[in-house]
């Protein structure tokens, strides 16, 4: 009988992406999250007398600050992918 063999449920279907690839993938989302949070934080900080950031200033600061945020997101998602590859009931 010929046909295609179904993929194994014990082996991962593909290689896991590196943390760097995941960080590059998540950079736009991480930078946008940093942008929004910086802007909102500056609005809250204005209540105690600190200067407010304009949305453009917050965006300019979010470009470099998004890099470590994207790296952290890539490592976190990579860890979740590793955990998912182990499957239920399997130990490290």
Looking at residue 34, its pLDDT comes to 96
User: Mean pLDDT, to the nearest integer, of 49-72?
Assistant: 95
Radius of gyration of the chain (CA): 20
Concatenated DSSP letters for the chain? ---PPPPPSSS-SSPPPPHHHHHHHHHHHHHHHHHHHHHHHHHHHGGGTPPPPPHHHHHHHHHHHHHHHHHHHHHHHHHHHHHHHH-TT---
pTM: 0.73
Neighbours of 54 (CB within 10 A): 11
Looking at residue 3, its pLDDT comes to 54
Does the pLDDT at position 15 exceed 90?
no
């Amino acid at each position: 009988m010929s046909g295609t063999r179904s993929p194994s449920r014990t082996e991962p279907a593909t290689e896991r992406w590196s943390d760097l690839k995941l960080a590059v993938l998540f950079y736009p989302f991480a930078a946008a999250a940093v942008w929004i949070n910086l802007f909102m934080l500056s609005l809250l900080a204005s209540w105690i007398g600190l200067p407010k950031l304009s949305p453009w200033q917050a965006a300019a600061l979010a470009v470099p600050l998004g890099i470590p945020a994207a790296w952290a997101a890539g490592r976190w998602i990579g860890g979740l992918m590793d955990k998912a590859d182990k499957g239920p009931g399997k130990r490290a």
